[in-house]
Amino acid sequence: MARPLLRLVQEGRLDLLRDELRPDDVLGSAVQSRHYGRSGDTLLHHAARYGHQDVLAYLVETLGMDVEVFNSDYKRPLHEAASMGHRECVSYLMERGASVDCLKKADWTPLMMACTRQNLEVIKALVEHGANPLLKNKDGWNCFHIASREGHPQVLRYLLDVSPGSWDTESTIKRTPLHTAAMHGCFDVVELLLERCQYKPDSRDKCGVTPFMDAIQNGHVNIARLLLEKHQEGHVHTIQTLLSLGADIHAKDEKSRSALHAACAGQQAAAARILLCAGLQDMPDSTGTLAWQLARKPDVIQVFQETNDSA
């Protein structure tokens, strides 16, 4: 009966499940401690994962299953419900006494799991029940860091409202949420982080990589331009380091803008000079705009005049 029961739970067939499972029979007692597959999930894990709150209630209240039961990765049903964005299941499990900050393997909390998705209502439910946004997993990431990787500005705004210091965090290798957002090309998130958080302009991780370097190395020129505009110093050394590491100097974003466009938009004369000296040619973007056309400051304009004079 194991496989049919599992399928009934996954499909949310409470009517048939009641016919098969009764608290006073042998089968009803057996499923309370039954773990399925290599992951060791119980029926309660599956009900939470598939979002069947009525099945959860039956398993807990009628069959007496423990809301804190864990699988082989120490994952609780609350982890499952939170990671899949099932608000009703999340609320039910917490009302039945599930620990809001329980840890699964690698020290992930349900709130961290919820922040991998964009379901703000689930995140709010967890926080309102006391979930701690400042807890870190084994890699040193808190929920703010995770939401930055996933590119969820609305989640980040909420976390900043309820926990203003959640932005001030580093992973075990000293990477900030700004590093992570820049690396993954999350432009809206980078924009928000620069607006509302106080990251150092050239913060470096343990390998010496800055958010600007992450953006350029991964071809996110629009983010590199934004960082140049907001952070006005230190980028010449960063560009030199990138070039020495063999970064693709000709990388362009989705609008065919190069690092030279970014330097000119940020009015960075020294950065523009080193890019031109390294062999980067001024080519039009998808709108036909050349980098030099973005130059406004006299010293940036002069860089292109010097280049034309020497050509």
**Whether residues 76 and 141 fall in one domain:** no
Q: What is the extent of the structural domain holding 248?
A: 204-311
Q: What is the pLDDT of residue 234?
A: 45
What is the rounded radius of gyration, in angstroms, for the C-alpha atoms of the chain? 26
d(CA 91, CA 121): 10
- The last residue of a domain, from among 108, 132, 156: 132
Are 241 and 289 members of one domain? yes
Find the range with the poorest average confidence among 52-56, 232-236, 240-244, 263-267: 232-236
* Predicted confidence (pLDDT) at residue 274 exceeds the cutoff of 60: yes
**Together in a domain, 25 and 120:** yes
Give the global pTM.
0.76
Find the CATH number of the domain harbouring 269: 1.25.40.20
- Provide mean pLDDT across the span 284-300: 91
Average pLDDT over residues 258-264: 84
- How many Å apart are CA 24 and CA 36, to the nearest integer? 22
What average pLDDT score do residues 186-192 get? 96
Quick one: pLDDT at residue 308?
74
Q: CA 158 → CA 128, 203, 229, distances in Å?
A: 12, 25, 26
Lowest mean pLDDT among 70-74, 197-201, 242-246: 242-246
Q: What would the mean pLDDT of 296-310 be, rounded to a whole number?
A: 84
Is it the case that residue 311 has pLDDT exceeding 60? no
